[in-house]
Chain A
Amino acid sequence: MASSKTLGESLRQHGVSRRGFLKFCAATASMMALPPSMAPAIAQALEQARRPSVIWLSFQECTGCTESLTRSSSPTLENLIFDVISLDYHHTLQAAAGDAAEHAREQAMELNAGEYLVVVDGSLPGPNANPGYSTIAGISNYEMLMDTIEGAAAVVAVGTCATFGGLPKADPNPTGAVSVQDLVKDKPVINVSGCPPVPMVLTGVLAQFLTFGTLPELDEYGRPRAFFGQSIHDRCYRRPFYDKGKFAEAFDDEGAKAGWCLYRLGCKGPMTYNACATMKWNGGTSWPIEAGYPCLGCSEPEFWDAGGFYKPLSVPTGSPGDVLVTAGAVGAAVGVGAGLMSRQQNKHAVKHHDKVTADQLEETL
């Protein structure tokens, strides 16, 4: 339940120094593209914030998002922020099970009506799909989502499944999966996409909500612009190789060893908007492209169906080669037919050509 303890008190209890906390606030300010002078304001607001109640709903998902957000090699401030939100319902992390778990959710909704945040990971079978594909405590995902968001202040969709449908929605979408934003129309929805998303992005959104009581500025997909405003390509440290036209052509060739651009190996960086290139993963250790692996474009809609992971961005998704051969063969046949027909007509015209004498012509005048 939302505790009466402020975030500042709670952090001190966890042994976070004032200095460490201010550093976190400054980093958060820069992350949210705010001027550094905002850091003390963030610190002050966070210090005094009450622990907000968060109800975390997990639907058709793989728990990868939770793993990403909670498992870091060393405790970080993000983790502590997690410790100090009141996570009242979360399948993976809560101790309660069965009726007690559902009761915790209902109680949190009742006590914090109008104020709690709903975090969703995973897609869910749409209202017209068979609800039996995913249920919790006998309640369909659709029913649980619509019921829970009723008294929510805002909904945060975490991961590409919740934001865009993700893997469950990939062709042929057997479960009729839809995303949160397809269903939630009357509450603010913040999309934190990625498979999994960068942990700091969720922390940033929560920090902003706690600091200003507002939600971040969003892009065309409802993602916080501060984190999804720039493409991987624009922030990639391998970009100079792209600009020079130096490409790795195999995972073990000289170009790959020299750290050249991975475009030809299928990198989707140019069309992908995310913070991986700047924030990196595992406490800033590395990120996929630094590890020599092309960006899959996991924070973009339909990324499972947007062409092969190892096919360059310019390669079409259909099979135009087969189309070319088939259409070409038909075209050639029709062309030969048309040509031969014209020849026949020509021959016929020559054969039946009426000869006219000069006298006959004169008669016609």
Chain B
Amino acid sequence: MTSMDFLLFIKGPMFSIAVAIFALGILVRLFEILALGRAHNYAAARGNEIIPGLKTIYRRFNPDPGTFKRSTFDVLVGTLWHVGFVVVLLLFIPHIELIQSTIGIGWPGLPNPVVDAVTAITLLGLVAVLIHRFRQPVKRFLSTREDYLIWLVTFLPVLTGYLAYHRLINPYPLALGLHILSAEVFLIVLPFTKLSHIFTAFVARYYNGAIFGRKGIQS
């Protein structure tokens, strides 16, 4: 198999397989959660559910002062690489072209040097959180194999993307193929691991806010 055969397989059938597994898996999970619903609350409602629910989705982006003081590193570096990952994923022009060709919606991107710098920061952030996880006894104790697996699955698309952009792997079709393959592994693994928090985190935040809202208290 030449590097071009590899790229064409990864860009063609393999991408469709990855998208199918991702869409099927994540929607089964989300719709199952939504269809389950919540136990009926017989108490009289003291406030609205929807507005506080939506507000909480946003408000949870800000860590409360206690958490920030206790885990400054986690909050700072965690936020840094999460934002970096999303920026690189959604604002790099070749990625926008891919998204537009798949779902028909596009948006303006960032200049390549900006995305390049953000990628470098994201990579450093991801390495830092891994080192932190190894060095903190409590974190290390709590970490499972799945945690290390999803770290790797998240790290590889960023790393291979950086290598492909800077053309550090030759020939280029191999570099691009490896990058797309690592993104496909991310998509395939996503619905069945903690990575599904990309979607479920917002459901959880909404329910949390809605419950508090109904009780008439701030979340």
Q: Interface residues, chain A, CB within 8 Å of chain B?
A: 220-221, 231, 233-234, 242-247, 263-264, 270-271, 273, 300-302, 305-307, 311-321, 323-324, 326-328, 330-336, 338-340, 342-343
Contacts and interface: CB of A to CB of B under 8 A. Distances in A.
B114 A245 contact: yes
Contacts of B65: none
A327 B20 CA distance: 5
A328 B101 contact: no
A270 B167 CA distance: 9
A279 to B, nearest CB: 20
A109 to B, nearest CB: 32
Given A318-B12, A336-B35, A324 B176 contact: no
Contacts of A271: 4, 7, 171-173, 176
Contact of B113 (A245, A263, A331): A245
A311 B27 contact: no
Contacts of A343: 35-37
Interface string B90-118: 00011101100111100001111111000
B24 A339 contact: no
A300 B4 CA distance: 8
B93 A263 contact: yes
B29 A315 contact: no
A315 B16 contact: no
A270 B171 CA distance: 10
A307 B180 CA distance: 15
A323 B172 contact: no
B112 A243 contact: yes
B19 interface: yes
A316 B4 contact: no
Nearest to A305: B8
A314 B11 CA distance: 8
Chain B: interface secondary structure?
Answer: helix
A100 to B, nearest CB: 41
B33 interface: yes
A264 B95 CA distance: 11
Interface size class of B (residues with CB under 8 A): 35 or more
Tell which of B8, B94, B101 has the most Cβ of chain A within 10 Å.
B101
A320 B94 contact: no
B207 interface: no
B112 A245 contact: yes
Given A244-B112, A312-B94, A331 B8 contact: no
Given A316-B102, A340-B35, 14 more contacts: A243-B113, A245-B113, A245-B115, A270-B167, A271-B171, A271-B173, A300-B173, A312-B98, A314-B98, A319-B16, A323-B19, A324-B19, A339-B31, A339-B37
B203 interface: no
Nearest to B94: A314
Interface string B20-54: 11111111111111111100000000000000000
A7 B176 CA distance: 46
A321 B15 CA distance: 11
Contacts of A335: 27-32, 34-35
A342 B35 CA distance: 9
Contacts of A327: 19-24, 27
